[in-house]
Structure 1
Amino acid sequence: MEIVFTVLILLLAVAASGILTRSLRFALPLPLVQIAIGALLAWPALGMHVSFDPEIFMMLFIPPLLFADGWRIPKRELFMARRAVLMLALGLVFMTVLVVGYFVHALVPSISLPVAFALAAVLSPTDAVALSGIVGKGKIPSRLMHILEGEALMNDASGLVALKFAIAAALTGVFSIREASISFVIIAAGGLATGAAVSWLFSFVSAHFFSLTEEGDPAPGVVMTLLIPFAAYLIAERFEVSGILSAVAAGMMMNYASVAHSGSVASRVRAGSTWTMIEFVFNGMVFILLGLQFPHTIGRALLDAHETSDALVWRLIGYIVAVAAALYAMRFVWVWLLRWFASRSAARHGVANAVPGLRTVTVTTVAGVRGAVTLAGVLSLPELLPGGAPLPGRDLAIFIASGVILLSLLVAVVALPLLLRGWRRSKDPHAAEETMARTMAAQAAIRAIDEVHDEKCSDLDESESAYAADVTARVMDLYRRRLATLDEEQEPRELARRADALEFQMKLAAMRAERTTLLALRNSHAINDETLNKLMREVDLLETALTAHRK
């Protein structure tokens, strides 16, 4: 009963965070609001504490979120930025483990070198979910955002693999860089292959045996898609390869799976709305759980230190600031070097003034916020050595990791809006291809209407043929006006846009009048709830399509 009560409280907190964020007069990032709500729930007066089991957390929350990110991220842009993504997700992670690990051990000698490497490993992954919640959509230039999202998708796996070997070194005192490198390649490649195979198998089975791509109730197909990330993660972990990369690969493969695009409209609409809700709920729970842990991992340690001396409190806070500064410095230098080498390569190909932009490097540095994977990783450190003695430095490592997570979020909240203010972003790089796609799709629709008209009207008499011609003209007029809005000439485009805006207002007013009438008929018992729900759904879908076209 206590578990049910806890889950209901967390769901209520997630919903309240969304309402509170929209009702505030000033802009406050949703992740920060959720962390604050979690910390408030953990306040002694309320006394709510949720035990944070890293294995359950990694299995329950991370796979669906990474699956959704992998499904949504543009694959072409990710491939084009593959060099930068890999250098950040692999090169920066391992350099961070090495440099920051030695720095932590030198700063806090009580933390053994393997535990310092483990702490650096869990601090290396970044959190794109927290980043997008802080800055919002469209604030960071699309190319840079794609790189940051790709880095966050990949560096979870590299950071956790580095953590695995650091823990093994802490427990056994043995470490082999050759064995670690070979194991990383096997674990990463195995995870990617497993995720792609699970996604392809689902597509094949659903298309050939379950008929999920045909018209009918879409619920079974949507439920099946919800199980894919968990299946990919668990199967990969069973074979001791990367479950995180498996979930990412499964999401990426869904873009190429037949069931993702050839299914019924109802299944795609319901799947889209379902995944939007799941992402909101799971993201919210992740940050609320973070907030629930901070009073225990940070607050309790500071209170215990305060009982000893104020100097110890400031020393602990200094550890957090120093480690965060080392992470920022390492990231800044690495990103600047990457851009410098890229500019040298561009200069050799005749591109002038291709120098590293200080603002871009700084934004990339500050955007490397840490999140839930970091906390889950550091809490997975074993409490005891094989001989039964406590693992030295574990509690301090958890305290530092928790503090760095909170500090990185606060720095991003304050610094990113200032860094992004007044940044001249180029025009939408995809505007031209979007216009081309809309034009070609409208032309294909007009040709299809012509073909249907010729096929269906060949045997009609004069009156029926005239009526059919009128229907054809009305349907075709929609696509002709759409082509007119895409015309390169200014005058016909503006005329078409004004007509389109007037039609939009009329259709929206008509649909709202329909909705008002349907509710009045139900309230007067002229129709029942079943009829109301069916007709309201039709109007809602039409309005959704209409407003989506206007965005």
Structure 2
Amino acid sequence: MIHANLLLILALFFAMALLYLLSQRWKISYPIFLVIGGLGISFIPGIPPINIDPDIVFLIFLPPLLFEAAWYTSWNEFWKWKRSILLLGFGLVLITSLAIAYFSVSIIPGFTLALGFLLGGIISPPDAVAATSVLKGVDMPKRGLTMLEGESLVNDAASLTVFRFALACILTGQFVFQKAATDFIILAVMGVVVGLAIAHILYLVLRYWAKSSSITTPITLIAPYLMYIVAEQFHWSGVLAVVSGGLFLSFRSNDFLNYHTRLQTKEVWATVGFLLNGFVFILIGLELPVIVEGLEGYSIDEAINYALIISAIVIIARIILVYLVTFIPRLSRKIRQREKSPGLKLPFIIGWAGMRGVVSLASALAIPLTLSNGAAFPHRNLILFITFIVILITLVFQGLTLPIFLKLLKVEEIDDHVPFDQQKEAIHLLLAKEAVLYLDNKYSKEMADFETIRRIKEQMERSIRATEQTVAEQKQQVASVRKLYKKIMLDLTTFRRKELNKLRATKKYDDEVLRDMENNLDLEEARFYKH
């Protein structure tokens, strides 16, 4: 049994890798492709049904995905747009949950308000991974990307809190607003406290004891699970624990990461994040036929109608609410003076980018099979079906049309944001000039005595002159020269790698030396391919 399940999981991972390669070739966002691919795989004869234990869904998928999102969140950008992010993250989730709760009660027979809030908590949070994957390669104002990424951290906590209280109400049959509000404050505050406390302990270990990448990277992998499990053990917010702890460790990462540990940790987390995200997205497609078969008391036409109506409500409500939370605060003169108007185009794009994904799926699958008294959980399969259809529609329909809207609307950069390449050139120039001064002050005698040391300064001065010349050129010329420069450097890297392989064939040099040289070429090539 274990071997069969393990083989199925490995086969899914392999299928996921193939689907990702196809998505890259056809230039389609990989979450969209994985969902469609998973749905196609589910119809292959002989594919066994995929059943996941609801109790382990949150534990396996959520902690590392939340931690990775927190780790790569820019705290400066988050704090700069905190008002808009918090309004989007908390306000949209709460109002969307409220709207879904009352609409679902009005259109679905036998649906209670608690079940409506449960459904609202599940499908209210957009998925940042899906949005950023779709937006990769297209021009998007920096403010919009920051809001989408920052919102994902906040709305996960908000939606899972709504889900948690709605589920408790259904299981116990009781809901007291005052007690719920008090419990929310306690679980939120104590969740943050637990996350920060564990993060501080791990920070001390990583900074003063762990000096090797062989232990630093595993600790960062263990960290989100440790934060989540400890917080949940005391019935506090594991989500907020992971987010707060991840933000702290990311902010202080320069204190305990060197070049080697930073490279290794980044690559390991990129792999883990891709595998977990990809597995969840492919599960969305795989699970849909299983959920359809489990529908009881509803025809497939009825279930589809409910799902389509709720999907429309989710999409329309988000667009309207994004405009409201964008422009109502601008009634204040101080805000109008401090922030440039986003216009009408950017709020629409942010609203249209509300694709549902990993958190919604994890929440839906985490609904228990039975109530406390052993009875079957009411409308569970219908809730799962609606969730899957909402994810499918928002991910595929909105995901495929989002780049089209961006091109048609021609959304331009609103704020005074310096392009990435220009920032790199400015930093490179500044560091090079400071380094030359440092050489003159500390190694003047060595440079006078040794030709090799003197060449270091000469190389840096040539680099400074080349950068200054590039900055002085016209923007169109800079772009064309940069493109040509990148092409030539990549061509030279490929040539040197071929020559290195020839040297390997001669067997005159140690494999360890050759691998080290190959690693240097890999890093150089990655630097040009990154942007």
Please report the TM-score for the alignment, with normalisation by the length of structure 1. 0.86
Instruction: Show the 5 A alignment for 1:368-407.
Output: 368-407=354-393
- Tell me the CA shift for residue 352 of structure 1: 12
- Tell me the CA shift for residue 385 of structure 1: 3.4
Corresponding residue for residue 522 of structure 2: 540
1:275 to 251, 264, 269: 269
1:407–1:483: structure 2 CA closer, same or farther, 3 Å change rule? same
Corresponding residue for residue 245 of structure 2: 250
% same residue: 27
Whether 2:419 is the aligned partner of 1:419: answer no
Corresponding residue for residue 279 of structure 2: 285
1:85–1:322: structure 2 CA closer, same or farther, 3 Å change rule? same
- Tell me the CA shift for residue 179 of structure 1: 1.7
Whether 2:395 is the aligned partner of 1:409: answer yes
Whether 2:289 is the aligned partner of 1:295: answer yes
Corresponding residue for residue 136 of structure 1: 136
Partner Cα separation in structure 2 for residue 525 and residue 313 of structure 1: 67
Corresponding residue for residue 474 of structure 1: 459
Q: CA-atom RMSD, angstroms?
A: 3.1
Corresponding residue for residue 518 of structure 1: 500
Whether 2:259 is the aligned partner of 1:265: answer yes
Deviation string for 1:171-214 (max 9, x for gaps)? 2322122222222222222222322332232221122223x2xx
Contact 1:85 1:147 (8 Å CA) reproduced: yes
Deviation string for 1:435-493 (max 9, x for gaps)? 553443222222122223325347x4xxx4x664444323432234334433xx44899
- Tell me the CA shift for residue 402 of structure 1: 1.6
Partner Cα separation in structure 1 for residue 23 and residue 178 of structure 2: 49
The amino acid of 1:389's aligned partner reads A
Partner Cα separation in structure 2 for residue 395 and residue 389 of structure 1: 14
1:43–1:448: structure 2 CA closer, same or farther, 3 Å change rule? same
1:164–1:503: structure 2 CA closer, same or farther, 3 Å change rule? closer
Instruction: Show the 5 A alignment for 1:480-519.
Output: 480-486=465-471, 489-490=472-473, 508-519=490-501
1:452–1:509: structure 2 CA closer, same or farther, 3 Å change rule? farther
Whether 2:223 is the aligned partner of 1:228: answer yes
Q: Secondary structure of the equivalent of 1:129?
A: helix
Which is bigger in relative contact order (C-alpha 8 A, separation at least 6)? 2
Partner Cα separation in structure 2 for residue 502 and residue 317 of structure 1: 53
Partner Cα separation in structure 2 for residue 108 and residue 266 of structure 1: 56
Q: Secondary structure of the equivalent of 1:86?
A: helix
- Tell me the CA shift for residue 528 of structure 1: 5.6
1:510–1:398: structure 2 CA closer, same or farther, 3 Å change rule? closer
Q: Secondary structure of the equivalent of 1:255?
A: helix
1:2 to 4, 8, 12: 4
Q: Secondary structure of the equivalent of 2:52?
A: coil
Task: Write out the 4+ residue segments of structure 1 that deviate beyond 6 Å after TM superposition.
Answer: 350-353, 491-497, 500-506
Whether 2:336 is the aligned partner of 1:345: answer no
Q: Secondary structure of the equivalent of 2:20?
A: helix
Contact 1:70 1:248 (8 Å CA) reproduced: yes
- Tell me the CA shift for residue 272 of structure 1: 1.8
Partner Cα separation in structure 1 for residue 223 and residue 255 of structure 2: 16
Corresponding residue for residue 171 of structure 2: 171
Q: Which runs of 5+ in 1 are unaligned?
A: none
Contact 1:446 1:479 (8 Å CA) reproduced: no
Once structures 1 and 2 are overlaid, which stretch shifts more, 82-91 or 45-54?
Answer: 45-54
Corresponding residue for residue 22 of structure 2: 20
Deviation string for 1:508-539 (max 9, x for gaps)? 55543332222123334444644432332233
The amino acid of 1:405's aligned partner reads I
Q: Which runs of 5+ in 2 are unaligned?
A: none
**Structure with max Cα Rg:** 1
1:138–1:506: structure 2 CA closer, same or farther, 3 Å change rule? closer
Partner Cα separation in structure 1 for residue 207 and residue 196 of structure 2: 17
Corresponding residue for residue 94 of structure 1: 94
1:220–1:262: structure 2 CA closer, same or farther, 3 Å change rule? closer
- Tell me the CA shift for residue 142 of structure 1: 1.8
- Tell me the CA shift for residue 390 of structure 1: 2.8
Contact 2:198 2:245 (8 Å CA) reproduced: yes
- Tell me the CA shift for residue 112 of structure 1: 2.0
Please report the TM-score for the alignment, with normalisation by the length of structure 2. 0.89
> How many corresponding residue pairs?
525
- Tell me the CA shift for residue 133 of structure 1: 2.2
The amino acid of 1:331's aligned partner reads R
The amino acid of 2:155's aligned partner reads N
Deviation string for 1:226-279 (max 9, x for gaps)? 22222221222122221122222222112322x445532111122222222222
Q: Secondary structure of the equivalent of 2:443?
A: helix
Q: Secondary structure of the equivalent of 1:285?
A: helix
Corresponding residue for residue 333 of structure 1: 320
Contact 1:321 1:404 (8 Å CA) reproduced: yes
Partner Cα separation in structure 2 for residue 542 and residue 433 of structure 1: 19
- Tell me the CA shift for residue 544 of structure 1: 3.7
Partner Cα separation in structure 2 for residue 454 and residue 34 of structure 1: 59
1:504–1:454: structure 2 CA closer, same or farther, 3 Å change rule? farther
